[in-house]
Amino acid sequence: MPAVSKAQQKFFGIVRAIQKGEMAPTTPETAKAAVTMKKKDVKDFASTKHKGLPMKKEVEEAYYGGEEQRKKDERKAKYEKQLKKMLPKRAFDSMGRELDPRSGKLKEERKTFKEFMRYIE
């Protein structure tokens, strides 16, 4: 079985050297791999040529809900992006109060503490 990345090939090169006795274990991971793996398997990984291998393998993250849910979420994100371009950035009613452009409802006005205290008195 060939290595899938340069980093993996390098790791198994170190493990092979440890198994041969040419090198002392550098990390607990290399020591454990040297003890638990067969020499033939380590040799297969370590003898992989570097040409055409990525430095590190790109891993696709698992998506909660499966592939179908991922596609739905991508379509929804695309729709949201398009909608954001179409809607105005800010909207106001006839009295000059700011509205939420998406729902059309009034936005809550944020008051400072002093204004709030004036309102309570």
Q: What value does the mean pLDDT take over residues 57-81?
A: 84
Q: How far is CA 91 from the centre of its chain?
A: 35
- The pLDDT value recorded for residue 121 is 65
Average pLDDT, the chain: 84
Ranked by mean pLDDT, the top range of 24-28, 83-87, 107-111, 113-117 is 24-28
Per-residue DSSP letters for 26-51?
-SHHHHHHHHHS-HHHHHHHHT---T
Both tokens assigned to 38 = 């067969």
Q: What is the pTM of this model?
A: 0.48
What does the domain layout of the chain look like in residue ranges?
A: 6-46, 82-121
pLDDT tens string 95-115: 888 888 777 788 776 667 777
- Other CB atoms within a 10 A radius of the CB of residue 18 amount to 19
